[in-house]
Amino acid sequence: MTTELCTYTRNACDIARRTGVGRIELCAAPLEGGTTPSAGLIRYARSLPGLRLSVMIRPRGGDFLYTDDEVALMAEEIRLAHEYGADGVVFGLLTPDGEVDETRTAQLVREAEGMEVTFHRAFDMTRDSRQALEAVIRTGCRRVLTSGGRNTAQEGIETLRALAAQAAGRIEVMAGSGVGPSNARLLAATGVDALHFSARRERESGMRFRNPRVSMGGCAGVPEYTLTDADESVVRQILAELG
* Average pLDDT for runs of 10 along the chain of length 243: 96 97 96 94 96 97 97 98 98 98 98 97 98 98 98 98 98 98 98 97 92 78 86 98 94
**pLDDT per position as a tens digit, 61-75:** 999 999 999 999 999
CA neighbours closer than 13 Å in the CB half-sphere of residue 52: 13
Q: 196: which strand partners?
A: 4, 176
* Predicted local distance difference test score (pLDDT) of residue 226: 86
* Predicted local distance difference test score (pLDDT) of residue 217: 72
* Predicted local distance difference test score (pLDDT) of residue 25: 98
* Predicted local distance difference test score (pLDDT) of residue 19: 97
Residue 17 to residue 48: CA distance in whole angstroms: 7
Residue 136 to residue 99: CA distance in whole angstroms: 10
* Predicted local distance difference test score (pLDDT) of residue 216: 80
Beta carbons within 10 angstroms of residue 108's beta carbon: 23
* Predicted local distance difference test score (pLDDT) of residue 184: 98
Helix (H, G, I), strand (E, B) or coil at 137: helix
Instruction: Please state the pTM of the whole predicted model.
Output: 0.94
